[in-house]
Structures are given as structure tokens and as C-alpha cells.
Amino acid sequence: MKKIKRAIISLSNKENLNSILKTLSKYKIEIISSGGTFKEIKKLKYKCTEISNYTKFSEILDGRVKTLHPKIHAGILSKRKNKLHKKQLLKNKFKEIDLVIVNFYPFENILKKTKNHLKIIENIDVGGPTMVRAAAKNYNFVTVITKPSQYSSLINELNHNKGGTSLNFRQKMSENAFVETAYYDSIIANYFNNLSGNKFPSKKVIHGNLVEKLRYGENPHQESAIYSKDGNLKIKQLSGKQLSYNNYNDIFSALTISKSLPKNIGTVIVKHSNPSGVSINKDKVKSYKLALKCDPVSAFGGIVSCNFKINKKLAIELNKIFLEVVIGNKIDKDALKILKKKKNLRIIDAKDLKLKDAQNIISNFNSYLVQSDDNKKISKKDFKIVSKTKPDKKTFDSLLFAFNICRFVKSNAIVLVNKDTTIGIGSGQPSRLDSCKIAINKMKKFQNSENNSKIIAASDAFFPFVDGIETLVNSGVSAVVQPYGSIRDKEVIKFANQTNTVLIFSKTRHFRH
């Protein structure tokens, strides 16, 4: 047990300061402080010694140097049972500091408020993290507190131990402190990486805030949690069971597709992170029904993501089948009331989510792959018409829609489209020809052929042989989009011309493994 005689307090966030001062006063703990924190403590009518009076050295360099003083750091870092340390403290008339309560300049918040580089730099805390690291290193003798949320734990500890702290408590606070300094430094490091455009530095630092611990991972024997760089996923759960690892995986897939669609248009149905149906029909209910019709079997137990506000009429339709998750860009009151009738249905509002340029990370074997996101906006200039038969505007638009959806399907991917809706999706097969057959079989199983007078096909990569496009054309496909790059591209173009098939080549490939 370590009795606390002296504390140093330096805070950017002064939330709940009074609560901790009251307890320190109760146990007659001397307080040292500086700047705004000193003024706030005096305002709250507690005794406090200003750091410049304590060290007999005035703050300099506009406050950049105030706690960086031997009297402060010797008091924090000294080993209480080391005779030499005691002798040196006595010789220099330094006193032990047993408690450090510090939080840092709000660098992360400043980044959100301004792009002024000089202002950002001034919000890099030096003295605070230095004191915290010193206290955390010397946890055998010193208690370190880095967040207002820890105040209640410290108060309970002091009351339980009559003004002292246990070794277990100090070690736990030390662990938290090193996490805080590492997190803080990681944000600064990433800021400078972004500033210089260094996407892949020699040492990569990833930071995140715990959103929640999940019940388990993909399977019950796996542990799992979700983290966010912002500490907030920008999606809000309005009702239903706790989200699982698999739910989140599917939600991310669904939202990635939804947010790529035209503003306030489009319904996406996802199962096992693959789309089973997508429609951009402007009628909201019809859009959902068309997406569902693409593969109603796979949609059972899936996720529906609507790139628009969900209304009462659509909610009634959504409740007709079993779904795990429903996502909308807002959900009106009547719709929410209807959807809540299914207590386990997870209802998500994603109106605040904006997809930004980001890096995707996949981790295995204590290493991780990092790449930029495949968020390239698809436009006509990215394609070249290579067939003699030219597409009209409606056909070209359908080809672009099909290709956009295709890039979100696990490779090898084939997507069949009629106008503004998918009618067959083949995903994740080792053979592209097998993906063609799966997409065709789904189309034949769930669609009325008379409604599919113009079938469009998209492939996420080139056809290595003619048999792929031949299989599609024989099933009724009249237009195909694929990336170029095969040694047999000329053979594919020749086949398209022989069958009067529209063929356009994409300048970009879009694998999703």
C-alpha cells in the first residue's frame, strides 16, 4: 500500500475536477498545478501550489516549458526504497510526487476542427505525456490517472485504503497510461504521414477506440471486439439484439454498396458479405421487391440496406420475411414502430455515415496487409466500346450499374442485370465459368424470362477463354462489360461481333477476395 502525500494535476479536460479535489483534500494531499488547471483549482477554493512557485522556475516559451523540470520528474521517477535516490532528492531539496493526474492537449479534436498546421502543431502535448510515461514507469510507487472516467475508481481506492493505493491498482493505471500515450502518439504519427503523403511508412501505427466487446467472433470459440478510429461507427442501432461479428461484417459490405449508389436511391440485400440482390429503381417499395426477387432464398436471414429513408409502407414489406438487420438513411416513426414488432431484428440508422478515403486492413499470422479502398467512382470515360454493335444510353447505364455491383461481389464474380436491377449473381468461385453458370441458374430460377428482354452481364475480371462469354450469350445476355488484359481479348471481341453482342472493356479491374 502506498500513501499519497503529494499530487501534480495538469488537465486539458477539466471535467469532474471538483470530485477528485474533494477527495484529495479529505486526505490532506498536497496539490501542485499550472496554467488553466491551477486557476480552476483556485476558483473551486482548494489549496494548490503553482508549478513555477514549486520549482522556482517560471514558465517559458509561451508555456511550452513548464512541467519539464528535474524537480518534477525526479519527484515522479525516484525509487522510494533506493538509498541513492533518497540521498539525491535530499541533496537537491526535491520532494516525492506520488500521484499524477494528467490528460493531454486535444490533438485529435483539433484535427477535426482545423487544417491550420501551426495551430495543430501547438496542440501536440509534450509535458503531459512525459509526466504520464514517467509515472507509469514508476508504478511501484506512483499512481497515474489519465482520464476523468478513472476518477471514481481512484476515489474508491483512496477511500478503501485511507488515502493510499494498492500495487494492483497502480499497475492497472500504468497499463492504461501507456495505452493513452501510445494512442496519442499514433494519431500524431499518422497526421504527419498523411501530411507528407506517406501511405506506407517503414513503421505502421494503427489506433482505435473500443466500440464494444462482441459475444464471440465468426464462431462461438473465437473472441471478438470492434474498434473504431473515431470511437464512433457513425451508425446508430435503434432496436434489436446485440450486433455480432458476422453482423458487422455484413453491415460493412451492405453499406459499402449502398453508399456507392445514386443519392437516396437503391436497395441492397446482403448474405454472408455478398450481395444477393440490388435495385436502383426509384420507387422505394418496388426497389426492395426487385432486389428481393433476384434471390429470395438467399435473402432469408440476410441484411437489407436502403440508401434512403425507410417509410411505413416499406416497413410492412420488410417484416414479411426473416431478416437479421435492416439499415436505412433514417427510419420514420411509423416504420420504426412496425419494425420493432420483431424484437430481435437489429435496426440501424446510417444517415450519418459518409464513406471517406481509407485504408483496408486484413490481419493474419501477426502480420497485416494494407491497401487503399476500392472506392473509385465509375464513369463512362473508364470504359471502351470494343464491339461493332454499340450500346444505347440505357444499355450503357445498365452496364455501368452491373459493373459497379460486380466489384462488391467476392471474386470470381458475375452479375446479371435487367435495366436497374440485378437478376442473377454468381460469387466466390475458383472458376469464372462456374460463376457464370451460378448467375444464370439463379436468373432462370427466380425471374420471368419475358421480363428480361435485355440481359446485361458484368465480370470483375477478363474472361481467360471464350467459353465464359459464350455461356452468357447462350443464356440470353446481349451486352457484356469486363476488364481487358487477356491474351485472348481478340477472341472474345471476335465472338461478340459474330453474335452481335455489345462488349465494352473497363480500364480497371475490381477483385474482391
Higher pLDDT, 453 or 197: 197
CA distance 297 to 180: 48
C-alpha neighbours within 13 Å on the C-beta side of residue 161: 19
User: pLDDT digit string (tens) for 398-420?
Assistant: 999 999 999 999 888 999 999 99
Higher pLDDT, 323 or 366: 323
Instruction: Find out whether 138 and 170 touch, Cβ atoms under 8 Å.
Output: no
Region 158-162: mean pLDDT is: 95
For residue 123, what pLDDT band results from cuts at 50, 70 and 90?
A: very high
Q: Are strands 455-459 and 414-418 parallel, antiparallel or unpaired?
A: antiparallel
Domain 2-196: CATH superfamily, name plus number: Methylglyoxal synthase-like domain (3.40.50.1380)
pLDDT over 70, % of the chain: 98
Could you tell me the three cell numbers for 202? 517503414
Average pLDDT, the chain: 92
Q: For residue 372, which of 363, 354, 359 has the smallest C-alpha distance?
A: 359
Q: Say if 2-196 and 380-506 have the same CATH topology.
A: no
Residue 442: pLDDT over 90: yes
Residue 20: pLDDT over 90: yes
Residue 179 main-chain phi, psi, to 5 deg: -65, -45
Residue 379: pLDDT over 90: no
DSSP letters spanning 331-368: B-HHHHHHHTTSTT-EEEE-TT------EEEEEETTEE
233 φψ region: left (φ > 0), alpha (ψ -120 to 50), beta (else): alpha
Instruction: Find out whether 271 and 253 touch, Cβ atoms under 8 Å.
Output: no
Predicted structure pTM score? 0.85
For residue 453, what pLDDT band results from cuts at 50, 70 and 90?
A: low
- Other Cβ atoms less than 10 A from the Cβ of 382: the count is 15
Residue 253 main-chain phi, psi, to 5 deg: -65, -45
State the DSSP code for 447. Answer: S
Residue 230: pLDDT over 80: no
411 φψ region: left (φ > 0), alpha (ψ -120 to 50), beta (else): beta
DSSP reduced 3-state for 83: helix
- Other Cβ atoms less than 10 A from the Cβ of 113: the count is 11
Higher pLDDT, 478 or 374: 478
* Whole-number pLDDT of residue 360: 81
Beta bridge partners of 392: none
DSSP reduced 3-state for 156: helix
Q: Which residues contact 181 (CB under 8 A, 6 or more apart)?
A: 129, 132, 133, 136
For residue 509, what pLDDT band results from cuts at 50, 70 and 90?
A: confident
DSSP reduced 3-state for 446: helix
For residue 376, what pLDDT band results from cuts at 50, 70 and 90?
A: confident
Say which range, 138-147, 342-351, 422-431, 444-453, has the weakest mean pLDDT.
444-453
CA distance 106 to 476: 61
Task: In the chain, count H helices and then E strands.
Answer: 19, 23
For residue 169, what pLDDT band results from cuts at 50, 70 and 90?
A: very high
Higher pLDDT, 49 or 66: 49
Which helix (H) or strand (E) is 127 found in, with range? helix 127-137
CA distance 242 to 273: 18
Domain ranges of the chain: 2-196, 233-349, 380-506
| Amino acid making up residue 163 | G
User: pLDDT digit string (tens) for 456-471?
Assistant: 999 988 888 889 899 9
CATH class of residue range 233-349: alpha beta
CATH class of residue range 380-506: alpha beta
CA distance 9 to 44: 14
For residue 356, what pLDDT band results from cuts at 50, 70 and 90?
A: confident
For residue 449, what pLDDT band results from cuts at 50, 70 and 90?
A: low
CA distance 437 to 425: 10
Which helix (H) or strand (E) is 505 found in, with range? strand 502-506
For residue 151, what pLDDT band results from cuts at 50, 70 and 90?
A: very high
CA distance 386 to 237: 47
* Whole-number pLDDT of residue 450: 53
pLDDT over 90, % of the chain: 77
Q: Which residues contact 218 (CB under 8 A, 6 or more apart)?
A: 224, 245, 246
E strands, 186-273, in order: 209-213, 225-228, 236-239, 267-271
DSSP letters spanning 70-110: HHHHHHHH--TT-HHHHHHHHHHT-----EEEE----HHHH
Where b means 16+ CB within 10 Å and e means fewer, 19-45 reads ebbebbeeeebbbbbbbebbebbeeee
For residue 261, what pLDDT band results from cuts at 50, 70 and 90?
A: very high
Region 301-314: mean pLDDT is: 96
**Residues written for the chain:** 513
Q: Which residues contact 77 (CB under 8 A, 6 or more apart)?
A: 134, 137, 138
Residue 458 main-chain phi, psi, to 5 deg: -130, 140
Torsion on CA atoms 209, 211, 215, 216, rounded to nearest 10: -40
User: pLDDT digit string (tens) for 291-307?
Assistant: 999 999 999 999 999 99
| Amino acid making up residue 126 | V
Could you tell me the three cell numbers for 221? 470459440
